Amino acid sequence: MYDLIGDVHGHARGLIRLLELLDYKPQKGLYQHPGRQAIFVGDLVNRGPESREVLQIVRPMVQSKHAYAILGNHELNLMAFFTLDNNNKPLYSHSIRNMLQLLPVFESFRSAEAELYDYIDWMYTLPLFLEFEDLRVVHACWHQDSINYVRKHFPGHKFNRDLLIQSLQSRGPEYKAVQMLLKGLEIPLPRNKKGLDAESVRRGFTRVKWWEDHHGKSYRQISTQAKSNLPKYKIPSNLISLDLAYPELAVPVFFGHYSLNGKPNLLKKNICCLDYGVVKNEVVTAYRWNGEMKLDRRNFVQS
């Protein structure tokens, strides 16, 4: 059975505390459990100070089949930073802003550049989602059309250089599918920016709760971010074109990404977010899954 582990974001000590709580023991240099496997939902790196240490823990677990890992948007940015397009320009440009965005990763790999490149190569081996008979895992949003697209067009459900270039440089179906799975649905904020926090205004978009029906809801109700500052009026219906409903009878889906507040709770009986703000509190969140189709909030474990 599986232990699903949320965003780690460079917090190795939080991860070690969590693995020990889950009875994973370091043997022959890697954390393992005699009867279970871990599944990391992506965003292992960045933000926190120990990206290198986190990768040093997770990669051996994956390579020895004690764990699975999928890609998060922070891994995607890092891969894109070090991948050149056909004009020899990095896919994620080396602007000051982008460098600052990835600075915690670069600092943790200071004078270990070759090791970082090696991890980038490893990231290319990680899939964009996992689907088992009775379990689904994605970093941000299980959007069935996007899953189907990746399943059909990405061999092994992974990137290669060409697919990464296409996904980031086109505005085509690869781009949409990758954005949806790794970043989720984001909707543009209203023109009237009065009262919005600076981050929302800068980005111009807000992340939404894809697991809820948006019809007739306000920005404030449907956003996962900066709740109190968003307008109370209804989202225009032209922005709610996508059918994101996750079927009630579908197998459980696990994801991270949303940095939710408060104590972990299930979003639905078969929908479970595992990111409860590791960036804010250094607490990594997991769900110990024993095959149940109806999830149970008592199975959350936090470091």
Contacts to Mn ion by CB under 5 A: 43, 72-73, 257
In terms of CB distance, is 73 or 167 closer to Mn ion? 73
In terms of CB distance, is 252 or 256 closer to Mn ion? 256
Residue with smallest beta-carbon separation from Mn ion? 257
Q: Minimum distance between the CB of residue 7 and Mn ion, rounded to whole angstroms?
A: 6
Q: Minimum distance between the CB of residue 181 and Mn ion, rounded to whole angstroms?
A: 11
* C-alpha dihedral, 167 to 120 to 275 to 107, nearest 10°: -120
CB 289 within 8 A of CB 2: yes
**Cα separation of 29 and 276, whole Å?**
29
In terms of CB distance, is 73 or 200 closer to Mn ion? 73
Task: Name which of 263, 303, 292, 286 is nearest 39 in CA terms.
Answer: 286
CB 142 within 8 A of CB 255: yes
Q: Minimum distance between the CB of residue 139 and Mn ion, rounded to whole angstroms?
A: 6
In terms of CB distance, is 30 or 275 closer to Mn ion? 275
Q: Minimum distance between the CB of residue 33 and Mn ion, rounded to whole angstroms?
A: 26
Using CA of residue 137, residue 140, residue 143, residue 148, what is the dihedral sign?
negative
CB 297 within 8 A of CB 280: no
In terms of CB distance, is 16 or 140 closer to Mn ion? 140
Q: Minimum distance between the CB of residue 277 and Mn ion, rounded to whole angstroms?
A: 12
In terms of CB distance, is 179 or 270 closer to Mn ion? 179
Spell out the alpha helix ranges (H) of 22-153: 51-63, 73-81, 96-108, 113-123, 144-153
Q: Minimum distance between the CB of residue 226 and Mn ion, rounded to whole angstroms?
A: 16
CB 260 within 8 A of CB 253: no
- Two structure tokens written together for 286: 């997991």
Whole-angstrom CA distances from 36 to 77, 137, 152, 201, 248 are 30, 16, 30, 44, 27
- Two structure tokens written together for 193: 């920016």
Residue 132, strand partner residues = 135
In terms of CB distance, is 24 or 72 closer to Mn ion? 72
Q: Minimum distance between the CB of residue 74 and Mn ion, rounded to whole angstroms?
A: 6
In terms of CB distance, is 5 or 30 closer to Mn ion? 5
Q: Concatenate the DSSP letters of all residues of 144-159 into one string.
A: HHHHHHHHHHSGGGB-
Q: Minimum distance between the CB of residue 41 and Mn ion, rounded to whole angstroms?
A: 9
What residues have CB less than 8 Å from 107, skipping those under 6 apart? 49
Residue 185's Cβ-count burial label (10 Å; 0-12, 13-18, 19+) is buried
